[in-house]
Structure 1
Amino acid sequence: MMSVSDWISIICAGVALIVTIIIAVLQIRQSNRMERLERRQDKRDEQRHQESVKSQAVSFISKYYKDRGLIPLCAIATMYNDLFYYNREMYREFCCCTKEVQNIILEYCELDLRVKEYNIYEKCLNAIESVVNEYFPNDRKIFYEGGKYFLRSLESYAKKTIPHQEFEYENYITDVLVTAFKNNDKKDKPIQHLLEKYNFGSCKEIEACQLVTVIAKFVAIYGNENKNIDKSYGSPGEYDGEVIGTMEDLFLLALFEIYVNCVNDRN
């Protein structure tokens, strides 16, 4: 027969167990409430973040609406060098946005282009050299020393107005290159012809830079056999009256054509 002390011990143990169970239940309930609260807080934070991203993207597009056709060049400016002090405010401001905001801007503009890599110049230079070497292996080399005349369009003459803006200038270069690509004669030397036509060896350096940059642009356009025709990358300068007026614009436009035609579709 159990003594009084035994009964007291049993009762105390039972009470302790009940208290432990109650505390455990309360702790679980509290933990569940905290978890639900954190989920609601996370959801609110994510919602506020998305609203902020959307607001920044819409604000940028609205601010530069008349030049929205240049937004693809903003992406190229970022991927070339987001720390470069571009002459055009639109490029600088885009570079200051987060990558998420940048890509939402591109998405809202219904473009397939995305900011997904950086320091693209060397990759683009290698790509355009490969196109020239493939089609015109015996032609003059114009991208030597890191494509210095191409690069100087931005680094030396970014703010300068494009020297030759007459229609006949680019039209002639286009005709020469289109004919050469159609003929597909590896003995052809269209670039040498253009260099001689525009006195590459004796003209002003800014004109030499323009010539090399324009040639790079059209070689990229006409030399890509695998162009993604189902993609929409934009048409800077031909969208809605936006102007490609400076050497900076021209450089970014050429880099854009190289990237979307010779690099991006092969990644």
Structure 2
Amino acid sequence: MYNDEIIGSGKLNYLCGADFVKSQQKFPTGLPLEPNLRCCSVDGDADRLVYYYLDENSKFHLMDGDRIATLVAAYLKEIVQKTGIDLNMGLVQTAYANGASTEYITEKLKVPVACVPTGVKHLHHKALTFDIGVYFEANGDAIADMLLVETILHDKGWNISDWEACYTDLPNRLMKVTVADRNAITTTDAERKCVTPEGLQDEIDALVSKYPKGRAFVRPSGTEDIIRVYAEAATRKEADKLAAEVALKVFELAGGTGTAPEVPQ
């Protein structure tokens, strides 16, 4: 255990913790940089969990909520099938779930996937409609989640790279656009489609159609005059460009303020 000097030190989450690892895409301070060493981090209140490792080429690999939920769903399905009991099982995701994970769950695991708006209340409500409902949200008990992951990996005899090999994440990009009024944008279809301003969704659809495995959506922040943009595509360059192009359309059609987003060439 590392970075646990939190009583009176003022170091809670400093250069460590799940949010640091995910946002910075690197190891927290103090951890040994050993290849293929399975590591996990929780935040100071122990509700958010991420796994990660370095490969032989010192490349950083992150295993976040999509990976954890998929691992759990696959394991539970194996157990249910062995019992022979007819149970209705489903996995609940938000629009932020990587498209590769959704494809793996539906096509390979044959587990139904439901998409709901962002927020634990929506995820939990939908999960209750299944006999066994699985979802991941960055709150709750990260230690319990960690123990579940470790149990599954031990039972299957997997290391962390075996786990990651189930599917390959599509490159994705998150961006923010500052606007005069976040209420200019309203959404439907679990936040995957834009209703207002008129014409914005058509522009997004046209941009997405240019890219293999392209997908993008926009949604207003719940607290700030900011519009969040998510995009994914087959390559990192295409995901970055699609996100910037969508962000620029949001800026133009939804009352953007400040400097307009730049589209990489």
Q: Same fold (TM over 0.5)?
A: no
Structure having the higher strand fraction is 2
Normalized against structure 2, the TM-score is what? 0.26
Normalized against structure 1, the TM-score is what? 0.26
Structure of greater Rg = 1
Larger relative CO (CA 8 A, sep 6+): 1 or 2? 1
